[in-house]
Amino acid sequence: MASLKIVNGRVYDPANGIDGETRDICITDGRITASAPAGAKTVDAQGMVVMPGGVDIHCHIAGPKVNLARKLQPEDHRHDVHPRTAFTRSGTGGTVPSTFATGYRYATMGYTTAMEAAVTPIGARHTLEELHDTPVIDKGFYVLLGNNVLLHQLLKDGKRDELREAVAWWVNATHAYTIKLVNPGGDEAWKGRRNSVVTDLDDKSDVFGVSPREIISALVQVANELGLPHPAHIHCNNLGHSGNYTTTLETMRAAGDQRVHITHIQFHSYGGEPGKNPTSKATEISAYINEHPNVSADVGQVMFGKSTIMTADAPIAYMLRRLGKDKRWVNADTEFESGCGIIPFAYQEHIYTHALQWAIGLELFLHSKDPWRMVLSTDHPNGGSFMSYPKLIRLLMDRQFRDEQIKLVNKKAIKNTTLLDGLDREYTLNEIAIVTRAGPARLLGLKNKGHLGEGADADITIYEEDPDKEKMFSAPRYVIKSGELIIEDHEFRADHEGRVLHVAPKFDSQIEKIIRPFFESYYSVRFENYAVADRYLRHGEKIPTASPVAAE
Amino acid sequence: MSETMLLIAGRSSKQGTSLNVGKLKDEYRDVTSTVEMNALDMERLGLKEGDKVRLRSPIGETVVHCKPRKPEDLPAGMLFIAYGPPSSQLMAGDTAGTGMPISKNFRVEVLRETS
Amino acid sequence: MAEAAKEAVKTAPENTKLVENATCTFCGCVCDDMNLTVDLDNHRITKAQNACVLGRAWFTEHKLEKRPFALIDGKEATTAEGVEVAAQILANAKFPITYGLSDTTCEAQRQAVAIADMIGGCLDTTTSVCHGPSGIAFEGVGESTASLGEIKNRADLVVFWGGNPAEAHPRLFTRYALMPKGMFVPNGKKDRTAVLIDVRRTASTPVADIFIQIKPGKDFEVLWALRALVKGRKIGADIEEETGVKLEVLEDLVQRMKSCRFGAFLFGMGLTMTRGRHFNSGALLALASDLNAFTHFVAKPVRGHGNVTGADNVVSWSTGFPFGMSFARGYPRFNPGEFTTVDTLSRGDADAALIIASDPASNFPKAAIEHLKRIPTILLDPRESVTGQIAKVAFTTATYGINTTGTVYRMDDVPITLRPAFESPYPSDEEVLIAIKNRVRELLAEQHRLGSPKVAQKVA
């Protein structure tokens, strides 16, 4: 449809300072406009809340690692079927839904953009194929470069310019959105040193001679030099280990005053001694972020119930395997680039560590002074499924509900947090709109998303107001994507193919003179067959990079 | 003369190349109707290279011709054939709930084919 | 196509082109370093540099043959006529099955999934008679694995189990796992120990440093004994009577596995096609996972056809399940043994079959073949085959990787884009399937308007 008008709804558009005003929203040709022509279809949003479509800044929904996790758990799918309709394909759910179900279910949550958080360069083609089969939402992905062997070699040799050009080459070759670091510098010990683990940021690999700190520092700088709209996105070293909050602080310090994004930071906010029970350092982590405007984070909230651990951090997945009842474990190494670990998992209220993790996530939300820089996420599906977002929203908005839930979990864990120390805060609808829409869109540098101003993409969600916020956010009445009414009166009316958001920083093609020989010596595929052709983007949208910032 | 042996149906290089020449062509037919047998077994059964034998399973039977293999390569009582229409005639459709029929190490009767 | 079918081959063809970095899709090695010399006048490949003997045959034998675009009941027809008949069969079937898919592109596979979803049919791939059992084992155990480049660059111990790479995957030895020099294996084979385990000696045996011969059907017992030894349990010497393998040999193997730097199992049909099936694969996968308590160890099923891994991936991401599934209730269900093709045919469940890039009438058990002859079968295949002889509708399509581009996945899940060598007048599998899909959609919509009882779960 070409034009649409939403009337009588209470609008939450934090980016434009609109906090619950009753306003009309007009849509023409997929964008928000000042007015709509006379015959435009009208949606009466009386008694409803109108927000921009949700933006998931970090989830695992498409690619080789996700598909392994999908194949691993047929029992998960069996219990959560997704029947086809007149407009939509069938699928299966659970914590790792099939691609069609993923897209439709995000839409059902009122989300219209989601970013796949970790893709190996050699697997980028696969991710793009899966994204093509992920309907409705706009999407993109972050390319794993923190354990890239050639980049390590360039860094070791002090070839700083070549490092920057190579990073830009890789981002272009894969059509990625930004660069991702996972357990930087940790891969070689795992693959090449009998499953050893790197714990010290200054531990220089005896093979490649660079330390995690050096990698982090360099790549954070490079991402900003390249003008990427979203900075280096980092899964810190020592995820999950007691006492790891110091690693997290050091990682943030390594970025200096450069833009950096620390992902699922809850998993990186633990005190206590290695090998012993963790405690909460959410207050310290929050304080650092509050004081450093260059740092942003997403929470990585744990939600009780079934999850799937799927991560490029292969060592931690192996370690976690010993803890759960389900002994299945997948490990997949990718030559010179990365690895991955997958285990089925479940978080349980009575288990100390799980309850602590849940509480720390809530602490991070409640201590956050700047919701624009502490985004809502569960690191789907590691902390829990994205389908649990409505429940999480209720926990943030409804103190009474939160208190009731706190009573149900391991008491010792709660005592080790500040949750009962007068943390009465209740998120407002405005703040929810920030942490689920406006904030992530801004952090991603998506100027046309996360807000309802003129020129924005017409990605809009309309929720029926309800005192039960979980109910409210579970089932929007209307979802509009690119100006098309996809969900109307809670039902799908149409299918839609979203766009792949990607960046193309400039690079000097001379860098291929360095990259090609590396391929010829070591890789198992030809250099000429490695970069992904444009056609895999299908419907792509290139997001501009800022002017390059000169390296110091 | 009839004896029970274990049949393995598998790939061979010649099967792979002749498959490309054409599934309905002579080369492929020839490759998939050649059964390799332990040379000492062949001697004992009075078989020469190229002799026809009938392989029979509870499912069906097929006539193929035999080729000797050194005993140290193919143990006594074992047969190898490149899989194709002849070996299919011997395969049971029961997959024991797995989707996979047994095509290796299953019992067949080996009979001399005189005609 | 003109009488050029007579193919007067020019002795010195003037019109050739070189296609570099093309991909061979004959086996699961999916080697992407093929340099093809193409005789454009005679529409064929005359040379395939870097190809193994199987790849050479694949490339040079896929010439352009003069064949009808389609056959309906054995009579020549156009593709469009074939599409109409095929769509009618599928839209009216009560238990349609779709099978094959391992020798075509992911783009075509996606269309097959869409059709099966629409008609509420079964969807299965050649995986079910290849490494399906390993897929079932994966669901129960998981898998520690790696891309082939990791094995090439790191593995100092490689164990080939139940396979004969010299004859089925030659470049697994030469390009990926045995011979090549790597970053941490600079002397290639000299830096590696190769172990080969099988019930008989094959052409692969000579390359192994250690050959272990097992009694047929005893792989599980050997694997389980190895698991026990790895975990420090005692195994009696009577293991030799049971399996044909001496205890000392097993103990020696365990020692090597535990002390290597990076070990890899590469396993084949010797485990999946014999007594035990998924239990055999599962035991091997579990052993590889167990060994990670001591060192870095991976396992990789060696896949047969060029894009069977692509089929696994496409079906998994689209439905949640890798093979052996059904859309009959309006959503995906998975049940090997119930929805897998040998079973739906052998039991006589299927009342129509869509076979894509596969030849089940050649290789399936007898009962399955007999049933395939009884039901209307639709086939898409570039070449003549036994299934083509019994099909009600047979489409001649272009050969993937030789005539068409598209995406394929190597056995280690690495996705590669095909570079075609020469054009074909025949449509690609993807084009034919799209045409069938669109016509089926129309027919189902009509049925809905006519209130057909079959329609309850059909998509409009």
pLDDT tens profile A414-449: 999 999 998 999 999 999 999 999 999 999 999 999
The answer to whether residue A60 is domain-embedded is yes
The residue among A267, A203, A145 whose CA lies nearest residue A515 is A145
The shortest CB-CB distance from C154 to any of A81, A192, A329 is to A192
pLDDT tens profile B45-91: 999 999 999 999 999 999 999 999 999 999 999 999 999 999 999 99
Q: How many domains does chain A have?
A: 1
Which residues are paired to A395 by β-bridges?
none
The residue among C150, C123, C76 whose CA lies nearest residue C410 is C150
Residue C13: pLDDT band by 50, 70, 90 thresholds? low
User: 10 Å Cβ neighbour count for A421?
Assistant: 9
Q: B100 and C270 in contact by Cβ < 8 A?
A: no
Q: Is some CB atom of chain C closer than 8 A to the CB atom of B107?
A: no
Position C205 pLDDT exceeds 50: yes
The answer to whether residue A34 is domain-embedded is no
The answer to whether residue A367 is domain-embedded is yes
Q: C149 and A343 in contact by Cβ < 8 A?
A: no
Report all structural domains of chain C as residue ranges with CATH numbers, in order of start: 2-60 (no CATH), 70-130+306-450 (3.40.50.740), 132-301 (3.40.228.10)
The answer to whether residue A166 is domain-embedded is yes
Rg of chain A over Cα atoms, rounded to whole angstroms, equals 22
Q: Is some CB atom of chain C closer than 8 A to the CB atom of B63?
A: no
One-letter amino acid at C422 equals F
Would you call C73 exposed, middle or buried from its count of C-beta atoms within 10 A (0-12, 13-18, 19+)?
exposed
What is the C-alpha separation between C217 and C179, in angstroms, rounded? 30
Find, in chain A, the residue whose alpha carbon is nearest to that of C152: A524
Q: C21 and A528 in contact by Cβ < 8 A?
A: yes
For the record, the structure tokens of A34 come out as 């000042």
Residue C364: pLDDT band by 50, 70, 90 thresholds? very high
Residue C14: pLDDT band by 50, 70, 90 thresholds? confident
ipTM tops the 0.95 cut: yes
Position C459 pLDDT exceeds 80: no
What is the pLDDT averaged over residues C443-450?
A: 80
Find, in chain B, the residue whose alpha carbon is nearest to that of C348: B93
The shortest CB-CB distance from A129 to any of C20, C23, C407 is to C407
CA atoms within 13 Å, Cβ hemisphere of C215: 11
Q: Is some CB atom of chain B closer than 8 A to the CB atom of C161?
A: no
Interface test with C, best of B95, B102, B105 (most C CBs within 10 A): B95
Q: What is the pLDDT of residue C449?
A: 53
Task: State the residue range of the domain holding A215.
Answer: 54-449+497-501
The answer to whether residue A21 is domain-embedded is no
Q: Is some CB atom of chain C closer than 8 A to the CB atom of A338?
A: no
Distance from CA of B15 to the nearest CA of C (A): 9
Q: What is the pLDDT of residue A1?
A: 57
The answer to whether residue A15 is domain-embedded is no
**Which residues, at least 6 apart from C261, have a Cβ–Cβ distance to it below 8 Å?**
A192, A194, C154, C156, C184, C295, C296
Residue segments in chain A with a per-residue pLDDT below the cut of 70: 1, 548-552
What is the C-alpha separation between A534 and A532, in angstroms, rounded? 7
Residue B115: pLDDT band by 50, 70, 90 thresholds? low
CA distances from A460 to A452, C275, C374 (A): 8, 57, 54
Q: A71 and C182 in contact by Cβ < 8 A?
A: no
CA atoms within 13 Å, Cβ hemisphere of A82: 25
Which residues in chain C are contacts of B93 at CB distance < 8 A? Answer: 342-343, 345-347, 364-368
Q: Are C122 and C116 in contact (CB under 8 A)?
A: yes
Would you call C399 exposed, middle or buried from its count of C-beta atoms within 10 A (0-12, 13-18, 19+)?
buried
Q: A329 and C289 in contact by Cβ < 8 A?
A: yes
Q: Is some CB atom of chain C closer than 8 A to the CB atom of B26?
A: no
pTM: 0.96
Order of strands, edge to edge, in the sheet holding A341-347? Answer: A305-311, A341-347, A329-333, C142-146
3-state secondary structure chain C: CCHHHHCCCCCCCCCEEEEEEECCCCCCCCCCCEEEEEECCCCEEEEEECCCHHHHHHHHHCCCCCCCCEEECCEEECHHHHHHHHHHHHHHCCCEEEEECCCCCHHHHHHHHHHHHHHCCEECCHHHHCCHHHHHHHHHHEEEEECHHHHHHHCCEEEEECCCHHHHCHHHHHHHHCCCCECCECCHHHHCEEEEEECCCCCCHHHCCEEEECCCCCHHHHHHHHHHHHCCCCCCCCHHHHHCCCHHHHHHHHHHHHHCCEEEEEECHHHHCCCCCHHHHHHHHHHHHHHCCCCEEEEEECCCCCCHHHHHHHHHHHHCCCCCEECCCCCCEECCCCCCHHHHHHCCCCCEEEEECCCHHHHCCHHHHHHHHHCCEEEEECCCCHHHHHCCEEEECCCECCCECCEEECCCCCEEECCCCCCCCCCCHHHHHHHHHHHHHHHHHHHHHCCCHHHHHCCC
Chains B and A touch (3+ CB pairs under 8 A): no
**Which residues, at least 6 apart from C303, have a Cβ–Cβ distance to it below 8 Å?**
C27, C28, C130, C131, C309, C411
Position C390 pLDDT exceeds 50: yes
The answer to whether residue A20 is domain-embedded is no
The shortest CB-CB distance from B23 to any of C217, C269, C362 is to C362
CA atoms within 13 Å, Cβ hemisphere of A86: 10
Q: What is the pLDDT of residue C335?
A: 98
pLDDT tens profile A318-342: 999 988 889 999 999 999 999 999 9
Q: Which residue has the tokens 């990670």?
A: C292
Q: What is the pLDDT of residue A87?
A: 83
Q: A529 and C417 in contact by Cβ < 8 A?
A: yes
Q: What is the pLDDT of residue A70?
A: 98
Position C10 pLDDT exceeds 50: no
Distance from CA of A464 to the nearest CA of C (A): 29
Q: What is the pLDDT of residue A38?
A: 87
Distance from CA of B30 to the nearest CA of C (A): 14
The residue among A104, A78, A79, A76 whose CA lies nearest residue A90 is A104
Q: Are A190 and A180 in contact (CB under 8 A)?
A: no
CATH code, domain carrying A263: 3.20.20
Q: Is some CB atom of chain C closer than 8 A to the CB atom of B76?
A: no
The residue among C73, C91, C70 whose CA lies nearest residue C81 is C70
Q: What is the pLDDT of residue A551?
A: 42
pLDDT tens profile C267-323: 999 999 999 999 999 999 999 999 999 999 999 999 999 999 999 999 999 999 999
Which residues are paired to C146 by β-bridges?
A333
- Those chains having 3 or more beta-carbon pairs within 8 angstroms of chain C are A, B
pLDDT tens profile C31-57: 999 999 999 999 999 999 999 999 999
What is the C-alpha separation between C396 and C416, in angstroms, rounded? 25
Question: How, if at all, do strands A460-464 and A48-52 pair?
Answer: antiparallel
Q: What is the pLDDT of residue B114?
A: 78
The answer to whether residue A473 is domain-embedded is no
Q: Is some CB atom of chain C closer than 8 A to the CB atom of B74?
A: yes
The shortest CB-CB distance from C133 to any of B22, B92, B100 is to B100
